[in-house]
A and B are shown apart, each in its own frame.
Chain A
Amino acid sequence: MDAKLASGGISSLENDGRATWARVEYPKIDFEDLHYYAAPKNTEGPKSLDEVDPELLETYKKLGIPLSEQEILAGVAPENRVAVDAVFDSVSVATTFKEELAKAGVIFCPISEAVREHPELVQKYLGSVVPVSDNFYATLNSAVFSDGSFVYVPPGVRCPMELSTYFRINEKNTGQFERTLIIADKGSYVSYLEGCTAPQRDENQLHAAVVELVALEDAEIKYSTVQNWYPGDSEGKGGIYNFVTKRGDCREKNSKISWTQVETGSAITWKYPSCILRGDNSQGEFYSIAISNGHQQIDSGTKMIHLGKNTASRIISKGISAGVSQNTYRGQVSAHRKASNARNFTQCDSLLIGDKCGAHTVPYIESKNSSAVFEHEATTSKISDDQMFYCQARGLDEEEAVALIVNGFVRDVIQQLPMEFAVEAQKLISISLEGSVG
């Protein structure tokens, strides 16, 4: 189904929404030529997991995301259970553990369902963190999004399990424009993980998601991403354009939002999961591993916007560049006039593999309050021949040696991931660096 761009705010944007700041290059996107909605071929959606594309289940397995409830109930300890919402192309096909979550009062459902079942929450919070006119792709998403995930955790509830959404672009010529909205009410806690994959296609495909997080008083949201969209082939042909707007609002005092991302896929990524530290004493965190290999281009980072008093933020970014890729960290830390005693610590480390890739660090630091203390540390290093030789002299082959050294480099961030995904993330890192040496 084609959508015309005549509607809403989009008509007023005449260019193709290119991010002028980002260090990425790509041909003009023809938005008239994109598909804005695609349902999985079986229009009813799979009735059971048996009907789900086996390739997809395989990918789930690789990512360590158990989708089958039976599997989970049979094998995994209760505290390791994960509730999953799966979004294929534009439609949410399966949400697991709904009933058990409902007992705790947690709402976890496709956003299309939330619009029908919980309109009061959707109306109150949707677009309250990322306004429709925020940026071109957010506007595009606002106009055309058809599904995504919705989470509401009521006051005082600690969500009894990890929540997870799994996104996959299956159809040719399809853009994916999902929308995620997570609300942690007063004193609640939720940990959420999203995984993304797409099969190989020669055409470039667009993923323009919007994620909004709202943390109320004393609430905490932990949001983890393992992004493995198809990066294109070795010549740089095909791959996903991953243009995503993610923002969290620490709306009330003592709230906390923590972003953790492992970015290994996509031809081009630009995303800046950010925190608005509005409530007094609120905290924002951003932990990132961004790996670029082949012809990939990444321009990613965060914004920590300190508005309230005694707000604190922490940024740990680990960029790894290989092949002929370009990898940029771009981060903004700012303190508003009233943000007395704002604190930030930023550490940006870049690791280069080979001599044809690029690593760039672009921090923007603005303070309008003299009591703010912002620290920024940055390093750039290469895997040394001595390290490689040492590992190889112990029996590791070249790729094993690179994987080990890189996993050491990113350890601080891996430790932030939920246990069950940390191991998978390490494997993914090894896979994505295959062929980067020699």
Chain B
Amino acid sequence: MLEIKNLHAEVDGNKILRGIDLTVRPGEVHAIMGPNGSGKSTLSYVLAGKEDYEITEGSISYNGVDWSELGADERAAAGMFLAFQYPIEIPGVATMTFLKTALNAQRKARGEDEISTPDFMKLVREKSKELKVTPDMLKRPLNVGFSGGEKKRAEILQMSLLEPTLCVLDETDSGLDIDALRIVSEGVNQLRSPERSMIVITHYQRLLDHIVPDVVHVLSKGKIVKTGGKELALELEKNGYADYVDEEAA
């Protein structure tokens, strides 16, 4: 279970998160919506443990463990996965190599044996088929020259291979056409399980037609200003964020 309490965070001295309280239980999917600059991506980076994103007050704990002193790699080994809004290019490193290195790094950190190459190959073939990731893509350097859709599919492939228990999807719908959105959403939906928590960050209700959340939060100026069921997303789609932003400003 993820427990965020009164979380304040800043980047380069700029206060961005100003007191977030959020609890996500296993099996739940929470959507976080909000206008540009409300702190959505910052929240995802703070959760993943990016350096320079400093927690100034409050806490994050996962399954009872305080995460404030854990590095990004340790959080990953503990089950955290961030699907990046803008996945980073790693020139010269074949996607396949990256996947195997990441999987083995996490297994090592958890004190497990490395996966054998045949087992790994079998696993990748299986998972990549579902996400329409071609063998050619697996040979290409990770994210280098990938289209927007390919990048997001590669992110979800990583998620599916690494089997995290806490998934944060940062605007995974951005840059996707309708077909790609469907493929990616199906990939995510297959990963929904009673053991797994998900936080889906998005601007648009569209994604939530495919990945139906249990809870929707509205984030504005670094705080959650409204929490509701999936119908809240529809309301936002119709009326925009103005109500909540103004309310906050008042």
Query: Does B associate with A?
Result: yes
- Chain A interface (Cβ < 8 Å from any Cβ of B): 384-387, 389-398, 400, 404-405, 407-412
Chain B proximity of A393: nearest CB distance (Å): 5
Q: Contacts A387-B88, A395-B76, A396-B102 hold; do A404 and B71 have CB atoms under 8 A apart?
A: no
Chain B residue numbers with a CB within 8 Å of A407 are: 92-93
Smallest CB-CB separation from A389: which chain B residue?
A: B50
Q: Contacts A392-B73, A393-B72, A395-B109 hold; do A412 and B92 have CB atoms under 8 A apart?
A: yes
Q: List 5 A-B contacts (CB under 8 A).
A: A387-B89, A394-B105, A395-B109, A398-B73, A408-B93
Chain B proximity of A423: nearest CB distance (Å): 12
Are B92's CB and A410's CB within 8 A? yes
Smallest CB-CB separation from A390: which chain B residue?
A: B88
B172 lies within 8 A of chain A by Cβ = no
With a 10 A CB-CB cut-off, give which of A393, A396, A397 has the most chain B CB atoms: A393
Chain A residue numbers with a CB within 8 Å of B106 are: 394-395
Chain B proximity of A394: nearest CB distance (Å): 4
Docked Cα-Cα span, A405 to B92, in Å, equals 8
Are B76's CB and A390's CB within 8 A? no
Q: Contacts A389-B72, A400-B101, A404-B98 hold; do A394 and B92 have CB atoms under 8 A apart?
A: no
Chain A residue numbers with a CB within 8 Å of B92 are: 407-412
Is the contact region of chain A dominated by helix, strand, or loop, or is it mixed?
A: helix
Docked Cα-Cα span, A395 to B91, in Å, equals 19
Are A404's CB and B93's CB within 8 A? yes
Docked Cα-Cα span, A395 to B76, in Å, equals 5
Chain A residue numbers with a CB within 8 Å of B97 are: 404
Chain A residue numbers with a CB within 8 Å of B72 are: 389, 392-393
Are B93's CB and A395's CB within 8 A? no
Are B88's CB and A396's CB within 8 A? no
Are B90's CB and A405's CB within 8 A? yes
Which residues in chain B, 67-104, are within 8 Å of chain A measured between CB atoms? 71-73, 75-77, 80-82, 84, 87-93, 97-98, 101-103
B158 lies within 8 A of chain A by Cβ = yes
Closest 8 A/B residue pairs (Cβ)? A408-B92, A408-B93, A395-B106, A411-B92, A395-B76, A392-B72, A390-B88, A394-B102
B51 lies within 8 A of chain A by Cβ = yes
Known: A392-B73, A408-B91. 7 other contacts (CB 8 A): A390-B87, A392-B49, A393-B76, A393-B82, A395-B73, A395-B162, A397-B105
Smallest CB-CB separation from A385: which chain B residue?
A: B51
Chain B residue numbers with a CB within 8 Å of A400 are: 101, 105
Docked Cα-Cα span, A387 to B141, in Å, equals 13
Chain B residue numbers with a CB within 8 Å of A396 are: 73, 101-102, 105
Contact residue among A387, A395, A404, A410 (Cβ-Cβ distance under 8 Å from B77): A395
Smallest CB-CB separation from A408: which chain B residue?
A: B92
Docked Cα-Cα span, A394 to B162, in Å, equals 8
Chain B residue numbers with a CB within 8 Å of A398 are: 73
Docked Cα-Cα span, A3 to B73, in Å, equals 56
B48 lies within 8 A of chain A by Cβ = yes
Scoring B residues 49 to 60 as 1 if CB is less than 8 Å from chain A, else 0, what string do you get?
A: 111100000000
Chain A residue numbers with a CB within 8 Å of B98 are: 394, 404
Smallest CB-CB separation from A401: which chain B residue?
A: B73
Q: Contacts A385-B51, A389-B51, A390-B84 hold; do A395 and B90 have CB atoms under 8 A apart?
A: no
Which residues in chain B, 97-137, are within 8 Å of chain A measured between CB atoms? 97-98, 101-103, 105-106, 109
Are B101's CB and A404's CB within 8 A? yes
Are B77's CB and A386's CB within 8 A? no
Are A405's CB and B105's CB within 8 A? no
Docked Cα-Cα span, A410 to B24, in Å, equals 43
Chain A proximity of B154: nearest CB distance (Å): 12
Docked Cα-Cα span, A386 to B91, in Å, equals 13
Docked Cα-Cα span, A404 to B94, in Å, equals 10
Chain B proximity of A287: nearest CB distance (Å): 14
Are B91's CB and A409's CB within 8 A? yes
Chain B proximity of A384: nearest CB distance (Å): 8
Docked Cα-Cα span, A392 to B52, in Å, equals 14
Chain B residue numbers with a CB within 8 Å of A391 are: 90, 102
With a 10 A CB-CB cut-off, give which of B102, B109, B141, B158 has the most chain A CB atoms: B102
Docked Cα-Cα span, A387 to B52, in Å, equals 14
Chain A proximity of B163: nearest CB distance (Å): 12
Are A386's CB and B73's CB within 8 A? no
Docked Cα-Cα span, A366 to B50, in Å, equals 49
Docked Cα-Cα span, A412 to B51, in Å, equals 31
Docked Cα-Cα span, A412 to B92, in Å, equals 8
Chain A residue numbers with a CB within 8 Å of B103 are: 395
Q: Contacts A393-B76, A395-B73, A404-B98 hold; do A387 and B90 have CB atoms under 8 A apart?
A: yes
Docked Cα-Cα span, A407 to B97, in Å, equals 11
Chain B residue numbers with a CB within 8 Å of A404 are: 90, 93, 97-98, 101
Smallest CB-CB separation from B103: which chain A residue?
A: A395
Are B93's CB and A405's CB within 8 A? yes
Chain A proximity of B9: nearest CB distance (Å): 15
Chain A proximity of B101: nearest CB distance (Å): 6
Smallest CB-CB separation from B104: which chain A residue?
A: A395
Are A395's CB and B88's CB within 8 A? no
Chain A proximity of B12: nearest CB distance (Å): 13
Chain A residue numbers with a CB within 8 Å of B51 are: 385, 389
Q: Contacts A387-B90, A407-B92, A409-B92 hold; do A395 and B141 have CB atoms under 8 A apart?
A: no
Chain B residue numbers with a CB within 8 Å of A394 are: 76, 98, 102, 105-106, 158, 162
Docked Cα-Cα span, A385 to B53, in Å, equals 13
Are A392's CB and B76's CB within 8 A? yes
